[in-house]
Amino acid sequence: MTSRLSPWLTLVVMLLALPVLAADAQRTGTWGAHVREQQLQLSLHPKDKPDSHHGFSAPLADFQGLSTADGSSAPFKLVREAGTFDFEGRFKDGQGVGTWRFSPDASFTKKLAELGIPKPDADEHMLLASVNVGPQRVQALAATGQKVTTVEELVQVGIFQVTPDYVRAMASAGYPKLTIEQLVACRIHQVTPERIQGYAALGFKGLPVDSLQAMSIHGVTPDFVREMRGLGFKDLSADDLVAMRIHGVTPAFVKEMREAGYENATAQDFISMRIHGIDSIFVRSMSKKRK
């Protein structure tokens, strides 16, 4: 993962930095937006804290009354379980500016309470609307055996798209008893059922979920495994492959070092070379010094 905050994590940070208001209070402010790949990318600037902003995106089809045609100034809205965003403004060249208002749904917190989830504060309420999760997702996940118990868990479920379909697909791939925390981590690190199936086809079946996450984090893809096996490394473990990726032992590096005379080096040898800064340039320079 990169160190740059994703748009969703930026949204969390910005919203949590806002002053706490009454849970049923409306929020207002200005907005800017642009259209990208059938999504409207929004940046909201709250009136009560004009120097801050938070952003989120939603499919164009989710908005009611939206037109992004040049000169369009018709009001439009985004209706969520948690409440409604009302927008006014104008678009030109796929970009828009204007004002917004968020009106919380009064029944939302009651429905969450009936499901055992504490009442969100005003910031959390708006955040749940932005990431589009609420009682419906809680109930749908419960039907798969996943119980959401806190607002924080619900926010993470929304941000990282832990859906019932994802839960069922992971169960079908051999991981039926993951916790919400593990499912969120798998989503963050792009552990997909398809990738799990790719590992299984190469003999890596039933790996611990931590190993799956480490492999995904460090780029140990099924393609990487196949490339390394094509170079003669037939029996590498998941940990070996992760170590190679961490230290930059790529197929290109292996070929380079073999051409420099290390035809019989093991995987651990190549890892040690990387750790100690030994490459083909270093090897050739040492050879010249010996002559």
What integer pLDDT is reported at residue 290 of this predicted model? 60
Same domain for 136 and 69: no
Same domain for 185 and 140: yes
**pLDDT single digits (tens) 156-196:** 999 999 999 999 999 999 999 999 999 999 999 999 999 99
Residue 15 — pLDDT band, cuts 50, 70, 90? very low
Q: In this structure, is residue 4 part of a structural domain?
A: no
- Total number of domains in the chain: 3
Same domain for 138 and 99: no
2, pLDDT greater than 60: no
Range of the domain at 264: 217-289
Report the half-sphere exposure of 215 (CA within 13 A, side-chain side). Answer: 25
Same domain for 90 and 48: yes
| Phi, psi dihedral angles at 150 (to 5 degrees) | -130, 160
Same domain for 146 and 91: no
Same domain for 277 and 226: yes
DSSP string, 36-67: ETTEEEEEEEETTSTT--EEEEEEGGGEES--
Q: In this structure, is residue 277 part of a structural domain?
A: yes
The set of residues, in sequence order, having a beta carbon less than 8 Å from that of 107 and lying 6+ positions away, is: none
Same domain for 100 and 39: yes
Asked whether 97 and 30 are in contact (CB, 8 A), the reply is yes
Residue 86 — pLDDT band, cuts 50, 70, 90? very high
Same domain for 35 and 100: yes
What integer pLDDT is reported at residue 24 of this predicted model? 60
Same domain for 95 and 40: yes
The set of residues, in sequence order, having a beta carbon less than 8 Å from that of 269 and lying 6+ positions away, is: 262
Q: In this structure, is residue 210 part of a structural domain?
A: no
Q: In this structure, is residue 116 part of a structural domain?
A: no
Is pTM beyond 0.85? Reply is no
Same domain for 223 and 175: no
Work out the number of other CB atoms within 10 angstroms of the CB of residue 136. 11
Q: In this structure, is residue 148 part of a structural domain?
A: yes
Q: Span 95-104, mean pLDDT?
A: 96
Same domain for 86 and 41: yes
Q: Which amino acid is at 93?
A: D
What Cα–Cα distance (Å) separates residue 74 from each residue in 35, 79, 139, 166? 16, 16, 36, 37
Q: In this structure, is residue 181 part of a structural domain?
A: yes
Last residue of a domain, one of 104, 139, 155: 104
Beta strands in the chain (DSSP E): 27-36, 39-46, 54-59, 63-64, 76-80, 83-92, 95-104
Q: In this structure, is residue 198 part of a structural domain?
A: no
Q: Bridge-partner residues for 64, per DSSP? A: 77
Q: In this structure, is residue 156 part of a structural domain?
A: yes
Look up residue 60 and give its two tokens: 């164009």
Same domain for 226 and 176: no
